[in-house]
Structure 1
Amino acid sequence: MTCARLLLALLQERYAVDTVFGIPGVHTVALYRGLEGSDIRHVTPRHEQGAGFMADGYARATGRPGVCLIITGPGMTNIATAMGQALADSIPMLVISSVNRRDTLGRGQGRLHELPSQQQLLVGVSRFSHTLLDPAALPEVLARAFAVFDGERPGPVHIEIPIDLFDAPLAMVELPPPARLFRPAPDPEGLALAAEWLREAKRPLVLLGGGCADAPAAARTLVERLDAPTVTTINAKGVLGRAHPLDLGANAALPAVRELAREADVILAVGTELGETDYDVVFDDGFTLGGKLIRIDLDAQQLVRNQQVSLGLVADAGRTLALLAEHFPEPLSRDGAGRTADTLVALDLQRAPDFAPFVPFYATLQETLPEAILVGDSTAPVYAGNHLVSQPEPRRYFNASTGYGTLGYGLPAALGAQLGQSSLPVVALVGDGGVMFTLSELATAVEECLPVVIVVWHNQGYEEIRRFMDAHGVERRGVDIQAPDFQVVAAGFGCQAVRVSDPAGLAQALASRPLNAPLLVEVNAEAWQQAITCDLD
C-alpha cells in the first residue's frame, strides 16, 4: 500500500466518490497509479479552471462533493478561480494537489512549478488548506474534509501532497468505518421563541436560500403552515416546486418585493447569506427589513452579517424547518397566497423590458425539456432567468451570476452536472463572450459523449458591460469583441451545431438533439429580438 493508492481507495470505498476531474502531469503520475483497478471515472478537462467548474456543477446537481486531482503550481493558480466561485456559494469541492518535495518547500530553488507557498495561496479560497507531511495522517485529513462537507457550512477543501510521498509505503491498517455526522439541531428555547413570533405575526415573510436545497418537503410544509409569501433565491429555485402559490421567486431586488420586505413584521431567513447578488442586484443597498428578523444558518458568523438579526439559530436548515413546522400542527390563515399573487402582478415580469425577450425563450425550454437542469454563465438569458424561471425540484437551476460572479462557468459546470445526473437533460446557457473563457471544454463534452445542449446567446460582445459603460457615460472600450464562427469551431471539435433566430427554431433544435453527444445551439440575439418584437406587434 502506498499513499497514492490509499488516497484513491479511501475516496472510493469510504466516501463513495465515483468521478474525479483532473489533468495529469509529471508531478501527479504517481498519484494516477492509484487509479489502477479503481472504478472511479476520471474526466480530463482541457484546463484546470474547467476541472474546478465541472466539480462545482457535479456537486450542485448531486449534493455530493466534486473531486479534483490537480498539478502543482500553475494547476493550482488555474483552479483558484473555480474554488472562489464554490466558496462564495458554499459548494462542497475537494481539491487534491501535488506540491514539491518536502525537503525543498519554501526554499526558493526554482524547482518545477514552485511557489513560495502554495498552501498560503489557496487558503483564501478554501474552508481549509492542508499540507500532508505524514502519509499515515491521510485518513484523518480526509475525514476532516468530509466533516466540513457533511457537518458545517460546506465549501472547497484543499489537500496538497508532496511528490515524494505518493509512493511512500504504508503498513496495511484496517480502518474503522467512517463516522456518521449529524448537523446541529436548534436550541429548543430559541425555536419556541421563533415559533411564537411567527404565530403572532400579521405580515410574515420567509426567505429561503441555497442551504434549503436538501429539504424541499420541510420547506414547503412550513411556508404553507405559516401561510407566508416566500422569496426563494437563485440557489433555492425549485425548493417549493414549480409555480408554488407562495413563491415570489428570486425577485428580492425588485420594488414590489422590497415593499413587502419593508412592511413585514416578522421575517424568517433560512440558509441564506442575505448577500447583494440575491437581494440587491441593482446595487443600491435598497433591500431593508422592517420587522423582527429570525435567521437559521449552520455558520454562526453568518447570522450577524448583512442584516440586523433579532433571533439567530445555529442549526441545520432542514432539521430546523421540520421542527419549526411541528409548532404549527394546523395551518395559519393570513392570505399568503393573495399577497404573493398581488406582488407578482405588481412585478409584471412577463412584460418588463429587460425580461420580455426571454419569456418565449424559457417557455420553449420548459415545453421541450421540462425536467432539464439549467446551468448558466453571466449572460443576458441568465440574468432574466434568475427572475423568470421556476423549476420543479431544487438543484436544477444554478449559475455564476451570483456570489463570485466569474465568467466561463456555464459550459464546464453543465458537463459536471450531466456527469452527476446522467438521466436528466442538461442545458448550458452561455454568452458569446463568456464561453470563450472555457470553450476548449467542448472537447471534453465530445470525448465523454455528454448530451449537453450548449445554448450560446450571441450578441456580439459583452452586452452587460456595454450597458454599464453607457449608463455611466464611459466610452465603450474592450466590449465590442470579435467572436469566432461557432459553427466552424464546434465542427472542429466534432460537435454538432445549429443556428437559430426565433423560438420555433430553438424548439426544433432542442427536440432533435442527439442523446449521446453534445449540441451547440447558437442564438442570433439581434434576430431573436426582432422576431419577438414582430410577434408582439
Structure 2
Amino acid sequence: MSEVMSCGSKLMHLLRAYDIDTLFGMPGVHTLEAYRGMDAAGIRHIGVRHEQGAGFMADGYARVSGKPGVCLVISGPGVTNASTPIGQAYSDSVPVLMLTSVGATTDHGMGRGRLHEVTDQSRITEPLTAFSVIANDPLQVREYVARAFALFESERPRPVHISIPLDVFKLNDDQPVQRRKIRQRLAADPRAVAEAVALLKAGKRPLIIAGGGSTGAAEALRELVDMLGAAVVPTIAGKGVLPDSHPLALEATIDREATQALIASADVVLCVGTELAEPDIWLPGNLPMGGPMIRIDIDAATLVRDYDAGVAMQADSRLALEAIVAELRADNFKAEGISAEEVAAVRSAEREALRPIEQQHIEVLEALREAMPADGVVFADMTQLAYTGYAFYPCEKPKQWFFPAGFGTLGYGLPAGIGGKIAAPHLPVMVMVGDGGFQFTLQELGTAVEQKLPMAIILWNNDSLAQIRDGMVSRNIPTIGVNQHNPDFLKLAEAYGCLTASPDSIESLKQAVRDAHAATLPTVIEIRESAPFLSVRP
C-alpha cells in the first residue's frame, strides 16, 4: 500500500509521475495542502505576482518545453484572473493544466457567501477548455489528471481545468501513484494518403500552408517540398517549419495580397495543422484557392469547417506527411512545381507594399534578428512592432516566434517569455511588448528578477494604443481612450531590479540585446517610435 498523505500532497507526486517538475502559482489559503507535498515530490514552484501571470507562464513553458504547463491558483478570483491566459491557450492549442481549489463539496451551488465562492466554478472555464471538472474525491483527482494528460498527448492539446474542493484537498489518500499509459498519436488512413498522393502528383503548381499543428513535422515537410517543388506559406504559428532561407519558403504573409494571389494560382493546396482562422488570413470569407484542398489535422471538427476539402485526413501531421513522403519516394516522384524565382518575386512584392510605419519596424526587426543568437526565441505581445514581425522576422526553425494571434491577449509577452526561459534556461529569449500591453503584466518583472532570468525585453513605446488609435483615425472616430499617460518605464524596471537600456543608434540597440543575453538579470530595452536614430519616419 502506498504512503498515506493528504490528497493535495499526493497530487504533487502524481504530477511528478507525469514528468511535471515545475508549476506556476500564487499560494492562497485554499491551496495550502498542495504546498505541503511540493518539496517532497520534487516540484519547483515559480511564484507570480498575479494569477494571470501564472497562466501565461504555464503557456510559455509548454510552448518551449513540449510538456504541459501547469498552474495552481485559488478558487474564485484566482480562477477568473487566470481565465484570460487559459482562453489564449485554448485558442492556440497549448497544453495547460490549471489546478484550482473550490468550495467544500457540501457548499457547491448553495450560495452561502463562503470565501471565494462561485456557485458553479467549472462553468467559468468550460468554454475555454477541453474540459473543466470538479473532482469530488481523490480517485476522481487521479482520473481527471490521467484524462488530461491523455488528451495532451493524443488529441488537439487544449487546456484543462480541474477544481478540487477544500475538503477533498485534505482527505487521506493511500493509493499508489502511477502514471497511466497514454494513447499513441493518430496515424493516417492509408486510403486518405493514397488519395492525397494522387492529387499531389496531378498538380503542376502545388502549395503548402503550414500551421502550428505542423511544427512537429518539419523534417517530413521539407522532404515533401523538395519532391513536389511546392511553395510553402506558414501561418503565424507555423513560422520556421520550412526555414525562411529556403528558396520555396514564403514569409508569414498569408494575410497579404501578393501571397493570396499565389495561393489562388495553385492547382493543389495542402493545408497542414491550421484552422485558416481570421487572424491568419484577415478576409471576410474563405481564402481563395485555385485547386483542390488536402487537409490534414488532428481535430476532426477542423477538417470539415468552412472549406470543402478534396481529401480530409484526421491524423498527426508528422505521421501523415511521413506516409505521403513514403509513397512518393516509392514511386521516385520528383516535380518542378512553383519556381524559386516566382516565390522570390512574391516575397519582394510584399516588401515593396510595406507602409512607412512597417518599413520602420523592419529596420528595428532586422537589427534585433542580427543581435539574437541563431537559436533564440521571441515571445511577442500585441503591439504594432510584432504585427510586422510575425510576417517578416526571419525564423530558421519552428517554435522560434510565439505570438497570441487567436485570442489576441494584451499582456501575453512578458509572462509567457518568463515561462519559456524557465523551460529552457540555455535558450536566448527576447520579449517584444508595446507600452500599452506591457502595463497589463509588467508586475511579473518581479518574478523575472527573482528567478535571475537573463532576457532581452524590447519595449516599443509610442505612448498610445496605436493600432486602435489608427483604426479610429481611419474611420473618422475621435481618438478616445487611446493616448494614455505612461510612467517612466526604465525607472519602473530599475525599481524592480532589472537592468535597462535606452539605445541611441541601431548599433547600440544590437549591443544592448547582446548584453542582455550575457547578463544575469532581465534587461528592459526601450525604443521609442519617434527615436531620431530610426531612419524611416512613420
Same fold? TM cut 0.5 = yes
Query: 1:340 corresponds to which letter in structure 2?
Result: V
Query: 1:312 corresponds to which letter in structure 2?
Result: A
Range moving further from structure 2, 391-400 or 98-107: 391-400
Distance in 1 of aligned mates of 2:272 and 2:530: 41
Match of residue 220 from structure 1: 222
Matching residue within 393, 399, 402 for 2:397: 393
Matches within 5 A, 1:49-198: 49-173=52-176, 175=178, 177-198=179-200
- Distance change in 2, residues 1:473/1:167 (3 Å): same
- Aligned to 1:112, the other structure's residue is in SS state coil
Distance in 1 of aligned mates of 2:515 and 2:171: 52
Distance in 1 of aligned mates of 2:495 and 2:390: 33
- Distance change in 2, residues 1:69/1:300 (3 Å): same
Query: 1:518 corresponds to which letter in structure 2?
Result: P
Match of residue 476 from structure 2: 473
Shift of 1:178: 2.9
Match of residue 348 from structure 1: 351
Query: 1:313 corresponds to which letter in structure 2?
Result: M
Shift of 1:501: 4.1
The answer as to 2:277 corresponding to 1:293 is no
Distance in 1 of aligned mates of 2:144 and 2:24: 20
Distance in 2 of aligned mates of 1:351 and 1:434: 24
Q: Deviations over 1:47-101 (max 9, x none)?
A: 1111111111111112211100110100000011101111001000000000000
Q: Deviations over 1:86-141 (max 9, x none)?
A: 10010000000000000001000000000121001111110001110121232221
Query: 2:126 corresponds to which letter in structure 1?
Result: V
- Aligned to 1:438, the other structure's residue is in SS state helix
Output the aligned Cα RMSD: 1.6
Q: Are the equivalent residues in 1 in contact too, given 2:111–2:117 (CA < 8 A)?
A: yes
- Distance change in 2, residues 1:344/1:285 (3 Å): same
Q: Are the equivalent residues in 2 in contact too, given 1:108–1:114 (CA < 8 A)?
A: yes
- Aligned to 1:240, the other structure's residue is in SS state coil
Distance in 2 of aligned mates of 1:44 and 1:240: 37
Gaps in structure 1 of 5+ consecutive residues: none
Query: 1:215 corresponds to which letter in structure 2?
Result: A
- Aligned to 1:124, the other structure's residue is in SS state helix
Shift of 1:531: 2.7
Q: Are the equivalent residues in 2 in contact too, given 1:349–1:356 (CA < 8 A)?
A: no
- Aligned to 2:327, the other structure's residue is in SS state coil
The answer as to 2:366 corresponding to 1:338 is no
Query: 2:320 corresponds to which letter in structure 1?
Result: T
Query: 1:391 corresponds to which letter in structure 2?
Result: C
Match of residue 248 from structure 2: 246
Q: Are the equivalent residues in 1 in contact too, given 2:366–2:393 (CA < 8 A)?
A: no
Distance in 1 of aligned mates of 2:468 and 2:182: 48
Distance in 2 of aligned mates of 1:236 and 1:372: 16
Distance in 2 of aligned mates of 1:356 and 1:153: 37
- Aligned to 1:289, the other structure's residue is in SS state coil
- Tell me the TM-score normalized by structure 2: 0.95
Matches within 5 A, 1:225-304: 225-280=227-282, 283-285=283-285, 287-304=287-304
Q: Deviations over 1:481-503 (max 9, x none)?
A: 01100111011111111212431
Distance in 2 of aligned mates of 1:136 and 1:334: 56
Query: 1:290 corresponds to which letter in structure 2?
Result: G
Distance in 2 of aligned mates of 1:174 and 1:496: 44
Distance in 2 of aligned mates of 1:300 and 1:194: 17
Q: Deviations over 1:396-447 (max 9, x none)?
A: 10112x1000100011011001001111110100001110000100100001
- Tell me the TM-score normalized by structure 1: 0.95
Match of residue 377 from structure 2: 373
Match of residue 49 from structure 2: 46
Distance in 2 of aligned mates of 1:429 and 1:297: 30
Distance in 1 of aligned mates of 2:32 and 2:353: 54
Distance in 2 of aligned mates of 1:489 and 1:348: 37
Q: Are the equivalent residues in 2 in contact too, given 1:152–1:298 (CA < 8 A)?
A: yes
Q: Are the equivalent residues in 1 in contact too, given 2:153–2:182 (CA < 8 A)?
A: no
Query: 2:87 corresponds to which letter in structure 1?
Result: G
Q: Are the equivalent residues in 1 in contact too, given 2:369–2:394 (CA < 8 A)?
A: no
Gaps in structure 2 of 5+ consecutive residues: none
